[in-house]
A and B are shown apart, each in its own frame.
Chain A
């Protein structure tokens, strides 16, 4: 029962998704590509690319993976698995959590999570690069995107569009 398996795997991951769905890219890759062989490297990168080019929250990459693994049922199962567990917890525990505001251990948790989330997002980026097997021109594009995104106010969609254009020209 592949849909159920997908749901359980992703629901488990949702509890460690510090930094959102982007931070989960390495782990989703492990589950979906390496452990279960539901997808190959190329498809995985393509799905990430599609999610980047579409509007909406980052979590939609999970929807696409679910779709490719098990169709519409897979798409819904993966999305729900990613969103539902923490949403329910946060719904039930928000008042209690707010009553801890300012406590030393609560501050320690929030300070402690931040550097881990940075590491996860960085790992997600290296994973995409590895899975896509970038050549040097692609790496130049990556570097240019990093610089332009950090140094200018250019809307990210332009960078995505430039990537698509260079790809279409067959440069990558």
Chain B
């Protein structure tokens, strides 16, 4: 987790590549926030986070790489759509409440229209055998992308012996036993959070 109190001395390699030297001078207005996040929303397929990083840190320089990592770390472990939460934070930072509304709306507006258009097409042609078999193929590829994403997230966990058992428990409870997710998550967070708390104390 990017909770580094002395982040200046030990920046990550990618952070060095991406302009840690100058603090970002650009202070976007509402229009810029809307347009910037619109471009992010429309350019990403299957997750827009990498595009958010490029826009915020490299292209428009609204944040330094370190700031981005910290804020993203926060958004990633809070529930809810990560990128939306990130847009709210960036919007709030530069334009207060109106920024916090405009940035996520910009992020969602374009993709929402496209998806609704696709929904109309689906209503109309979705029952055709050709459309059905195409969507089946897309679902299979999408399913593979999900497994890959789970694998990547799992590999990013540092203490695998201590924490991956909780992954297995969640899979058993949700995918196999079909227990309700809110209860599973609360119990799971109490358990794995306690283990983490205990481990942190031993260091």
Q: Which residues of A contact B (CB under 8 A)?
A: 12-22, 24, 26-27, 30, 42, 45-60, 63-64, 67-68, 72, 75, 79, 82-83, 85-87, 90-91, 94, 97, 101-102, 104-129, 132, 134, 138-139, 141-146, 149-150, 155-157, 159-160, 162-168, 170-172
Establish whether residues B170 and A120, one from each chain, have CB atoms under 8 Å apart when the complex forms.
Answer: yes
**Shortest Cβ gap from B191 to chain A (Å):** 8
Known A52-B141, A112-B193, A117-B153; contact A87-B85, beta-carbon cutoff 8 A: yes
Q: Residue-by-residue, is B110-135 near A (CB-CB < 8 Å gives 1, otherwise 0)? A: 11101110110010001000101111
Establish whether residues A150 and B169, one from each chain, have CB atoms under 8 Å apart when the complex forms.
Answer: no
Could you tell me the distance between the alpha carbons of A79 and B118 in the complex, rounded to whole angstroms?
16
**Shortest Cβ gap from A81 to chain B (Å):** 11
For residues 120 through 171 of chain B, which have their beta carbon under 8 Å from a beta carbon of chain A? 122, 126, 130, 132-154, 156-157, 163-171
Ordered nearest first, which 7 A-B pairs have the shortest CB separation?
A167-B137, A56-B111, A145-B144, A119-B170, A163-B141, A86-B80, A112-B193
**Shortest Cβ gap from A59 to chain B (Å):** 4
**What are 5 A-B pairs with beta-carbon distances under 8 A?**
A15-B182, A20-B82, A54-B114, A115-B157, A121-B146
Q: Which residue of B lies closest to A113 (CB)?
A: B77
Could you tell me the distance between the alpha carbons of A169 and B122 in the complex, rounded to whole angstroms?
19
Q: Which residue of A lies closest to B96 (CB)?
A: A91
Q: Which residues of B contact A (CB under 8 A)?
A: 1, 3, 5, 41-48, 73-75, 77-85, 88-89, 92, 97, 100, 104, 107-108, 110-112, 114-116, 118-119, 122, 126, 130, 132-154, 156-157, 163-171, 174-175, 178, 180-182, 185-186, 188-189, 191-197, 199-201
Picked from A24, A50, A111, A134, the residue with its CB within 8 Å of the CB of B118 is A50
Establish whether residues A56 and B44, one from each chain, have CB atoms under 8 Å apart when the complex forms.
Answer: yes
Establish whether residues B145 and A56, one from each chain, have CB atoms under 8 Å apart when the complex forms.
Answer: no
Q: Which residue of A lies closest to B201 (CB)?
A: A104
**Shortest Cβ gap from A62 to chain B (Å):** 9
Could you tell me the distance between the alpha carbons of A2 and B135 in the complex, rounded to whole angstroms?
27
**Shortest Cβ gap from B124 to chain A (Å):** 13
Establish whether residues B140 and A112, one from each chain, have CB atoms under 8 Å apart when the complex forms.
Answer: no
Could you tell me the distance between the alpha carbons of A25 and B126 in the complex, rounded to whole angstroms?
21
Which residues does chain B contribute within 8 Å of A19, judged by CB atoms?
153
Picked from A46, A63, A105, A150, the residue with its CB within 8 Å of the CB of B139 is A46
Picked from A15, A105, A141, the residue with its CB within 8 Å of the CB of B137 is A141
Establish whether residues B100 and A91, one from each chain, have CB atoms under 8 Å apart when the complex forms.
Answer: yes
Which residues does chain B contribute within 8 Å of A157, judged by CB atoms?
45-46
Could you tell me the distance between the alpha carbons of A143 and B140 in the complex, rounded to whole angstroms?
9
**Shortest Cβ gap from B70 to chain A (Å):** 8
Could you tell me the distance between the alpha carbons of A128 and B141 in the complex, rounded to whole angstroms?
11
Which residues does chain A contribute within 8 Å of B164, judged by CB atoms?
115, 118
Establish whether residues A127 and B44, one from each chain, have CB atoms under 8 Å apart when the complex forms.
Answer: no
Establish whether residues A119 and B166, one from each chain, have CB atoms under 8 Å apart when the complex forms.
Answer: yes
Could you tell me the distance between the alpha carbons of A171 and B140 in the complex, rounded to whole angstroms?
12
Which residues does chain A contribute within 8 Å of B130, judged by CB atoms?
168
Which residues does chain A contribute within 8 Å of B122, judged by CB atoms?
46-47, 50
Could you tell me the distance between the alpha carbons of A19 and B115 in the complex, rounded to whole angstroms?
22
Establish whether residues A121 and B153, one from each chain, have CB atoms under 8 Å apart when the complex forms.
Answer: yes
Q: Which residue of B lies closest to A125 (CB)?
A: B146
Known A22-B146, A162-B141; contact A109-B77, beta-carbon cutoff 8 A: yes
Establish whether residues A146 and B144, one from each chain, have CB atoms under 8 Å apart when the complex forms.
Answer: yes
